[in-house]
Structure 1
Amino acid sequence: MVILIICCGHDWCYLPLEGSWTWGGNDVFGLFNLGDMGFSDFAGSGIVHMAGAAAALAGVLLLGSRKGKYGPNGEIRAIPGANLPLAALGTLILWMGWFGFNGGSVLKLGDIASANAVAMVFLNTNAAAAGGAVGALILARIIFGKADLTMLLNGALAGLVAITAEPSTPSALQATIFGVIAGIIVVLSILALDKIKIDDPVGAISVHGVVGLFGLLIVPITNPASTFIGQIVGAATIFAWVFIASLVVWSIIKLVIGLRISEEDEYEGADIAECGMEAYPEFIR
């Protein structure tokens, strides 16, 4: 039985079948084996992050854009976040948690070799995140003329997502470079999705999906046990399965109870409609 769990606070999505084909080493519907093709994803750039983005994309396509996000002539209207300090704190918490996420994927710490492996994973995880933040910040400064904090935060997360597929084999310099490229990619991806009117309020599809794919594709650069063909086929398998399965689930939810609150409630805010109180009373006159 396929079980789909989506936690909307963060775009994690996990399907047992997809996990069994990748980390579990089972055949994909009995047709082919990703491990035999040279697929490798150390801690889940594709298995976790790209899968979550695929589920999110299916939901976004059915849900549609927020009211007022796009003008009648196709113009893009930014809807800024309400609290950037909290966004920065949330990113820092994620950054810290990623040491356990990637480091824990070594699976043990009982001998010197494993301890050294964990230390290298920690170093590369931090280096990639820092590189991603710097890369996104510089590109945002070039494009917008301002140091965009939201892009910096997404750049740090992009670096983390990119290095998650293989944090144990790159050097610290390679991890930093991968992070810088991921930070650049996420800025360009966020802008591109906006242009084609895919409304992703926090850039999660770009951070976890586009950069998750990038993370998979760079694994063979430092890990000779993997292959580009295996990574491409693995990425396509993960995305296709999760996207289609999620599209079915989202569609059923839309038909049965609906995906979207009413236009009036959307204007007033779900905090009022669902909870009866203002989430941001300081904005009320």
Structure 2
Amino acid sequence: MESELFNILGDIFYVIIFLFGLCMGSFVNSWIWRRYENIRIMHGRSICPSCRRQLKWYENIPILGYIFLKGRCRTCHKPIPPHFVWVELMTAFLFVFISWHFLEFGHYDSALYYRNIIFAGFLLIIFIYDLLYQIILPEIVWLGAMVGFFVNYIFFDISLTAMFLGIIIGSGFFLFQYIVSKGRWIGGGDVRLGVMIGTFLAWPNILTALFLAYISGAITGVFLLLFKGKKMDSQIPFGSFLALSTMAVLLFGQEILAWYLGLLAI
């Protein structure tokens, strides 16, 4: 029934998901900025980050509002940070990609689809906030861990043992580095994030996510050292790499594992 519905809707389904993703991206933008500025989430409409003028409703339309304003506030004429646009676009394309993956691989399991969308929301906030401010929000991590634990145990019959192993490996791996380096290599936020990732992926998928995160982080670090003039002690938002790796494993965990085992066989 679900597959027939998606086939009938066709491209319309992706357009709807894209527009929904833009709206969610706009909400994520607002939430992240207000959280960083210590402004209550439900405190009125969106405002200019510079002069704090309240924006008109049409200025809040995702993407179009930015284009209408030509990237500048109408009052103070200061540039609107471009990350507001790329967060909206990234959220929209992420939701479309998850939907495409869901249909392309013939899962047609609505519970799996909704789970991945929910998990993607938590990972997206972690990714953006750590990338912008080098902070991993504890409230998002703990809420995500509770949601992940409940959803995986109730709806996907993932064993408590597998999730506890994921938590122990995910957080323990970072805790060991935190203790050895006295907080120089990684921060306490990475240790907490390991708990959330452990509930999302459980054992043994947590291992794949850690491997991907370190590989991608190392490649990025070398690039920044060679081409961007960064120093060895420069901060790299590792939480963002871990969020990306977790999303990759959620969608392509089996394929990644098969590819890696194939390399070992060679």
| Larger helix percent | 2
Higher relative contact order (CA 8 A, sep 6+): 1
TM-score range, shorter chain: 0.3 to 0.5
Q: Provide TM-score, normalisation by structure 1.
A: 0.39
